[in-house]
A and B are shown apart, each in its own frame.
Chain A
Amino acid sequence: MNIVYYILIILGGIFYAVGGLGLLRMPDVYTRAQAGTKATTLGTMLTMIGAGVVHPEWLPKIILIILFIVLTNPVGSSTLIRSAYRSRVEASGRTAIDELGAYYDREVE
């Protein structure tokens, strides 16, 4: 049993660390949101489940917490990105295609 939660928590930690690294390496706000907010989804799930393996009596609450993260995380990151785009935060030069500009009736170079 020990091994299981060590593995879960270490894996979760790796996803967190790479999420942080992604924040530094990615070129613009949109790609940073991809790395920063998302790599942590699985990171949180794994660490929480790891904690649940250590203390089985916490499992119901942990499942509830994961459920809340799954429900609220996408709403938050989607809203952040949408407002960034609407307030004209520039996307990196590597952006290959932009079909969203046309939807907001905006000129796209």
Chain B
Amino acid sequence: MRFDDEKIIEKAQSGDKKSFGILVKKYQQLAFNLAFRILCNEDDARDVVQESFVKIWKNIKNYNPGIKFTTWMYKIVTNTSIDHQRAESKKKAVCIDNIDLTNHLESDNPEFIFDNRETGQLIKQVTETLSDKQRLVFVLRDLQGKSPDEVCEILNLSLTTIKSNLYHARKSVKEKLQMIFSYERRNV
């Protein structure tokens, strides 16, 4: 954690909302990235980010400077996302529309360009057969780019569990991608 972050957090811990606002501005995109990748929906992700920062504010005095602020934040965002997802899944059945990659395959563009809706659908599609644990490990490690140690800290799991879940998650995601590509090729 950088020195200026430490100062800002110290001020926020003493109740300075202006300093907390600086933290929000600085880290809301990171929080949004994680919430979006777990929930695969922009509006839900925004709600979760808001709820998470309220929790962070309420518990900022309990924050232990011994761990990275982002790790602590990711932990709260992950738990809030899981709670949100459980509550939402009770309200409505989740419908997954298969993403159409045909145009992207035909295009010579070296990089595919997805909007948020397409990205969300594709993440949902490739992770739909994963267990909750596998999905969280995959999102944190392979999509958020967190180190295995940080994933352990965020999810409160051992390194062995992380590695095992990541192995199965990658295997399943690869199979899904293969299926998507073989389907798209038939339709090109």
A-B complex is real: no
